[in-house]
Structure 1
Amino acid sequence: MKNVNSYYESAYDLLDAGKSDSSFYLFEKAKQTFLDNKDSLGVAKCLVNMAITQREKGDLFGAQETSLEALKYLDKNKPNNRIYLSTNYNNLAMSSHSLQDYKSALEFFDLAIMFSDDPLNTNIFLNNLALSYMQLDDFDSAVKIYQKVIQKVKSDSKSYARVLSNLAIAKWKRSKDYNPVPELRKALLIREKESDLWGKNSSYAWLSDYYQDRKLDSSLYYARKQFLVAKTLNSGDDQIKAIERLIKVISPDSVTFYFNQYKIISDSIQQARSAAKNQFALIRYEVEKNKADNLRLEKENAEKQNRLVRQRAITGASIFLLLLAVGGGTLWYKRRKQRLELEAQNRVKETQLHLSKKIHDVVANGIYRVMSEIEHGDEVDRDGVLDKLENMYHQSRDISHDVEQETITEIPYNEQLASLLKSFAADHRKVLIAGNDAEQWDYISKRIKDEVKHVLQELMVNMKKHSQAEQVVVRFEKSDQKLNIFYKDNGVGIPQEKSNGKGLANTVSRIESLGGEITFVNEPGKGLNITTTIPL
C-alpha cells in the first residue's frame, strides 16, 4: 500500500474551496512526490487536475501541454486509468474547441467517449462533440447526436434542457425555415425553474441570435438578459458575446457605451489570461528549481564530507611535520602570525573608525539638527521634519551600501540579489525568484546591476511596509538585447496616498536614467504587477 501523499490531499481540499491557484502549486508538489515513489497514476491525476485548472483560467496552450504530458503516465490497458483518460481527452478537446481547432476537438471528444464508463459523462461528451460539429457546419451529424442523447437524459431536467436547446439550434442552423423558439422557450422555462444560471445564459444567447434578423426588439431584450446573467456569473467571455449581440441591435446613441464596456472587459480578460499563463509557468519552474536545489545541496554535503576527511588527514600530516620543524622555523611562523593578526586588527580598527565618522557626520549631526529645530522652533513643520528624517535614512543606507561594497566584493551578483530578495521573506510571506542564474548577468554593466539592486530593494521595502502581501514573485528575463524584470505580489496594491511617494519616484527615475521603462499595474485588493524593461 502506497503512502498517503499529503500534498495531493491538501491540493484537493483547496480545489474544492475554489482556491485553484494554490491547489495548482500543491498538485505540482504532489506530482514530484508521486514521481519519487514511482506512482504513475498519481502523477497523471495531478497533471489532469492541473490541466483543467489551466483551461478554466484561460491558459489554453498550457492546458494542452499539461494534458499531453499526463497521457505519458496513463495506461490504456488498466481499467482504473479509464476515467482519467476520458477526463483528460475531454479537457484536450475543450481546449482545442476554444482555440477554434474543431477537427482536433472532434478526435479528442471521440477518445473521451471511447474511454468513458459513466453514462452521465458520456452524454456530456456527446453534447460537446455535437457542438464541434456545429462549428464545422456539419449540422446533420450534430442533429443525429442530439436526437440520440435526448432520449437518455429525460430524467435529468438540466441535461434535458441543454440537449433540447442545442437540438433546436442545430435544426435551425440546418434549415433557416425551422422555428426553434418553442423548444428554446421550453428549455428556458426548465432552466428558470432549476435556477440554472449557465443554462439561462445559453438560452438568452440563442434566442437573441434567432430574433436578430426577425424582430430587433426581441433580440435586444434577450441580449440584455444575457448580459445581466453573464455579469452575475462573472463570466468575461459571455459578457463580451452579449455586448457583441447588443451592438448589432442597439440604437446608435448607445453603441459608444457598450463599445467602451467591450474594451474594458476584453482588456481585463486578456490581462487575466496573461497573468495566469505567467503564474502557472512560474509555479512549475519554482518547484522544479527547488528540487534541483535540493539535489545540489545533497551533492555539496557529500563533497563537504569528503573534503573534511581529506582536511583531517592533511591536518594530521601537518602537525607531524610541524613537530619535526626546527625551533627557528616555529619562532618565525609565530612572529609572522602575530604580525598578520596585528595588521588585520589595524585594518578592522581603521574600518570601524571610518564607519563611526560617517555615522557621526551623517546620522548623529542630522538628528541633532532636527532635535534643535523641534526644541527651538515656535511651530513644528511636520512635513519638513519627515523629509529631513527620510533624507538621513537614505544617507545611512548609502553608508551601509558603501561598507557592503568594500567588504563583500567577491559574492556573485546573482547571489547578492537572491540574498537581498529572500531577506524580505517571513513565516507569513513567500518570496519566489525565477531566472536569477549567474549566466543571466554576464555582459551586463556594473551601472545597470547597481541600479537594478537599488530598485529591487526599494520595491521590496515598499512591499513590506504597505502591501500586506503573502506571496511575491520576481522573475528575470533577457531577450532581444533587453533585460526584463517582472514583479508581482498578491497584496492590497499601492495605496493612493503612497503612489506619489519619493521611494517610487526614485525607482522610476533610476530606470529612466538607464533609458528603460517601468510600468505599474495596480489592482486594489488583488495585488501589484510591475514590469521593467532596460535596454542592454
Structure 2
Amino acid sequence: MIIKNLIRFFYKKLVVFYLLFFSIVLATIFSIQFSQAKNLQIKYIKKDRTAEIKQMQEKAFAFFDSGKHDSALFYFNKTQLLCNPKEDYADYYVGSLNHMVEILQRYGDYYEAEATLIKGFPYLEKTTNVKYAVNAYTFMAYNYLYTYDYEKALYYHKKALKTAFSTFRKSRILSEIAFVYMHQKKYQEAIDLLEPISKYKIVDKITPSNTDYQHAALLYNLGLSYLYLGNHKEQAFKCFDESLKLTLTLNDDYELIGSYHSFYRYYLKYNNPRLKKINAEKAYYCAKRAKSSTNEINMLAQLIEADNPKNSKKYWKIYIRKIDSLIVSRKKAKNQFADIIYNSKKDKEENLELKNQKAEKELQLERQKNRNIILYISISFVLSAFLFLFFHLFKKSKKEKNEAIYISEARISKKLDTELANDLYQTLILIKKGNLEQNENKDQLLNNLENIYSKTRNISKENSFITTDENYVFELKEMISGFKTEKVNILLQGFDVVRWNQIEKNKKIMLYRVLQEMFRNMKKHSEASLVSVTLKISNSLLTVLYADNGVGTTNNPLILKNGLQNVENRIKTIKGTITFDKNSDKGFKVSFTFPI
C-alpha cells in the first residue's frame, strides 16, 4: 500500500519524479567513474617486489648469523616495510617481524618486541606455512615469560601447540610450557609433561641438527624440575649428566652455560662446595667465550657465592663493571634499534610519497571534477527535495488544520443542538407563559437555567485547553469527578503511581480525551451506579482498565457504535491497542494499552 501511494504521488508530481530519476542516474555514473579512477591509480603503482624483498631478507639473515644484530634488525625492518601483507608477501612480512622480535628480546626490549609482534598477528592466516604462526605465538609467550606474566605466556604457548603440526615442534612447545610451570613452582606439572617425551629422542626432520639441542634442553628442564621438587636426587643427576654429555658433542659454549649451571644448582642444594665452585667457574667461562653478557653476569653472581671471600672480592669488582657496561650497551642498543625502525619507516613513507606523487597529479583534476559534479547534483537534489517537502508539508498541515477546525466546529454545533436546544425551548415557553411570581414556576426556571449553564460548562470543558504540566493529574481527576453524582460512584486506582512527567504531551492529551469520552458514554447509555478506572505500568506500557456495572454492551449495542468509535480511533493514533468485552451482560468493561 505504501509503495502504491508513493508511485501515485510521483506520477502526480512528474517534475519531481524526473528530477529525482535524473539525479540518481548521474550520481551512479559519476560514482562508477570515480571508483574506476581510483582502481586505475592502484594498478598503476602496484608492482612485483618479490626479488627486492628476497635480496633484502638474505642480507638480514647474513648479518643475523654473524651476530651483527643491529645490521640484521635494519634489514629485517627494511624487508617488512617493502611488504604489503594485505595483498601479498605475508610470509616475508611475518617472518621478518619474528626475527626482529628475536633480536629485540635478546636485548631486553620487550615492549617494542610486543608491539612488533602484534603488527603481524592479523596476517598469520595469510601465511603459507604454519611455522610463521607457531613462531609468532612462541615469541609472544617468551615476551610474557620475560615480563613475569606467566598465565599469558601459557596461553600463547598453548595456541602455538594447537597450531603446530610436526611431532618435534609439539615436543619443543611442551618443553617450553613445562619451563613456564617451573617459574610458577608447579614442578610436578612440569615433570608430568616432560617425563613421557624425555624417553624418546624426537628427530627434527626439517633441520636434523636441532634434534640434539632440543633433547638436551628437555633433559635440562626435567632435571631442574626434579631438583626443585625434592626427593629426586638420582633422577635430577641423571638428567643433568645426560644433558651435559649431549651438549658437549655440539661444541657450543652458549648451550654449555645451562649444563654447568644445572650442576651448580645441584651441588648447591646437596652441599658440595668444591664441585659447586668448579661448575660455577665452568659456566662463567663458557658464558665469557660465548660473549653472552647477561649469562656472564649471572654466572659471576654464582661464582661469587660459591668461591672463597678473597676471590669473591675480585669477582665482585668484575661483576659491578659488567653490570654497568651491560646497562649502557642495552640503552645504546635500544636507542639504535629505535632509530633504525623510525628512520626506515620514514624512508618508506618518503619513497611512497614520491612514487605516488606523479599518479596523484594525473588523477587529481579528474577526481576533483567528478567530486564537484556529484556535489552539485547532490546539493541541487537536496535543496529541491527540501523545498518541495516544505511546501507540501505546509500545504498539507494547513489543510489538516482547516479540516480539524471544521470537524470540531461541526461537533460542537451538533452537541449544542442536541443537548441545549430542547432545554432552551422549554425555558422560553416557561417565560412566555408568565406567572413567574409563583414559587413553583420560579424554581423550575432556575432549575432550567442551572441545567443550561451546567451543560454549557461541560461542553466548554470538553473542548478547552488541556494542561500537561505537573498539574495534569489533578486536572484529569477533576474532569472525572465531574461525572460523579449521588447515584454514580467512581473509584480511581493507580493514578498517583504513574510518573506523569515521563509521558509525552500528546499521549497525556489523548488519555484525557479517551477517558472523557468513555465517561460521557457511561452517563448517556450505561445507567451505571459504580465505575472503576485502574492504571497499571509494565514493560514501558501503560494499561487502563475501565469497568462499570451498567447495562453492558449486550443489551445496548449503541454504546459501541455511537460513543466508542472515537475512543478506538484515538488509541490507534498513539500506537495503542484496545479491547472491548462485547459479551458482558454484567456491566461494561474495556481495557487499552499504549507505550509511554
TM-score range, shorter chain: 0.5 to 0.7
Counterpart of 1:288? 345
Q: Taking CA–CA contacts closer than 8 Å with sequence separation of 6 or more, which of the two structures ends up with the larger relative contact order?
A: 2
Q: CA deviation at 1:145?
A: 1.2
Counterpart of 1:95? 143
Q: CA deviation at 1:247?
A: 1.6
Task: State whether structure 2 residue 24 is matched by structure 1 residue 24.
Answer: no
Counterpart of 1:164? 219
Q: 1:290 to 1:184 in 2, by over 3 A?
A: closer
Check whether the contact 1:209–1:245 (CA below 8 A) recurs between aligned residues. Answer: no
Alignment partner of 2:50: what SS? coil
Deviation sequence 1:150-203 (CA, Å, 0-9, x none): 134266444333322321221221124533223322322232233243332112
The normalised TM-score by structure 2 is 0.47
Q: 1:182 to 1:47 in 2, by over 3 A?
A: closer
The whole-number CA distance in structure 2 between the counterparts of 1:230 and 1:278 is 25
The whole-number CA distance in structure 1 between the counterparts of 2:52 and 2:237 is 52
Check whether the contact 1:57–1:273 (CA below 8 A) recurs between aligned residues. Answer: yes
Match of 1:15 among 54, 61, 69: 61
The whole-number CA distance in structure 2 between the counterparts of 1:23 and 1:5 is 18
Deviation sequence 1:430-483 (CA, Å, 0-9, x none): xxxxxxxxxxxxxxxxxxxxxxxxxxxxxxxxxxxxxxxxxxxxxxxxxxxxxx
Counterpart of 1:224? 281
Q: CA deviation at 1:112?
A: 1.4
Alignment partner of 1:58: what SS? coil
Match of 1:235 among 288, 292, 297: 292
Alignment partner of 2:233: what SS? coil
Q: CA deviation at 1:131?
A: 0.9
Check whether the contact 1:162–1:187 (CA below 8 A) recurs between aligned residues. Answer: yes
Q: Which amino acid aligns with 1:54?
A: L
Alignment partner of 1:80: what SS? coil
Q: Which amino acid aligns with 1:59?
A: D
Check whether the contact 2:104–2:113 (CA below 8 A) recurs between aligned residues. Answer: yes
Q: Which runs of 5+ in 2 are unaligned?
A: 1-46, 204-210, 364-596
Counterpart of 1:277? 334
Match of 1:250 among 286, 303, 307: 307
Counterpart of 1:129? 177
- The range that moved more, 294-303 or 203-212, is 294-303
Match of 2:118 among 68, 73, 77: 68
The whole-number CA distance in structure 1 between the counterparts of 2:106 and 2:83 is 25
Task: State whether structure 2 residue 253 is matched by structure 1 residue 201.
Answer: no
Q: Which amino acid aligns with 2:174?
A: L
Task: State whether structure 2 residue 47 is matched by structure 1 residue 47.
Answer: no
The whole-number CA distance in structure 2 between the counterparts of 1:127 and 1:177 is 19
The whole-number CA distance in structure 2 between the counterparts of 1:71 and 1:37 is 12
Q: What is the RMSD of the two structures over their aligned residues, measured on CA atoms?
A: 2.9
Deviation sequence 1:117-149 (CA, Å, 0-9, x none): 233322222211111100100011100111122
Q: 1:82 to 1:193 in 2, by over 3 A?
A: closer
The whole-number CA distance in structure 1 between the counterparts of 2:190 and 2:362 is 69
User: How do 1:451-530 and structure 2 match up within 5 A?
Assistant: none
Counterpart of 1:178? 233
The whole-number CA distance in structure 1 between the counterparts of 2:250 and 2:233 is 27
The whole-number CA distance in structure 1 between the counterparts of 2:261 and 2:190 is 19
The whole-number CA distance in structure 2 between the counterparts of 1:205 and 1:265 is 19
The whole-number CA distance in structure 2 between the counterparts of 1:33 and 1:101 is 33
Q: 1:265 to 1:4 in 2, by over 3 A?
A: same
Q: 1:217 to 1:147 in 2, by over 3 A?
A: same
Count of residue pairs brought into register by the alignment: 305
Alignment partner of 1:35: what SS? coil
The whole-number CA distance in structure 2 between the counterparts of 1:268 and 1:294 is 38
Q: 1:188 to 1:26 in 2, by over 3 A?
A: closer
Check whether the contact 2:86–2:123 (CA below 8 A) recurs between aligned residues. Answer: no
Counterpart of 2:165? 117
Q: 1:154 to 1:6 in 2, by over 3 A?
A: closer
Q: Which amino acid aligns with 1:4?
A: T
Deviation sequence 1:64-103 (CA, Å, 0-9, x none): 111111102222xx67242111001111111222222222
Q: 1:299 to 1:168 in 2, by over 3 A?
A: closer
Q: Which amino acid aligns with 2:226?
A: K
Deviation sequence 1:31-79 (CA, Å, 0-9, x none): 232228832614323222222222233322211111111102222xx67
The whole-number CA distance in structure 2 between the counterparts of 1:167 and 1:23 is 34
- The range that moved more, 187-196 or 134-143, is 187-196
User: How do 1:80-479 and structure 2 match up within 5 A?
Assistant: 80-153=128-201, 156-176=211-231, 178-179=233-234, 180-213=236-269, 214-294=271-351
The whole-number CA distance in structure 2 between the counterparts of 1:303 and 1:238 is 54
Q: 1:83 to 1:300 in 2, by over 3 A?
A: closer
Task: State whether structure 2 residue 52 is matched by structure 1 residue 6.
Answer: yes
Q: Which amino acid aligns with 2:76?
A: F
Q: 1:256 to 1:85 in 2, by over 3 A?
A: same
Check whether the contact 1:62–1:277 (CA below 8 A) recurs between aligned residues. Answer: no
Counterpart of 1:366? none
Q: CA deviation at 1:304?
A: 9.5
Q: Which amino acid aligns with 1:173?
A: Y
Check whether the contact 2:168–2:202 (CA below 8 A) recurs between aligned residues. Answer: no
The whole-number CA distance in structure 2 between the counterparts of 1:154 and 1:84 is 21
- The range that moved more, 55-64 or 16-25, is 16-25
Q: Which amino acid aligns with 1:193?
A: T
The whole-number CA distance in structure 2 between the counterparts of 1:145 and 1:266 is 36
Identity %: 23
Whichever of the two has the greater Rg, that structure is 2
Check whether the contact 2:213–2:247 (CA below 8 A) recurs between aligned residues. Answer: yes
Alignment partner of 2:330: what SS? helix
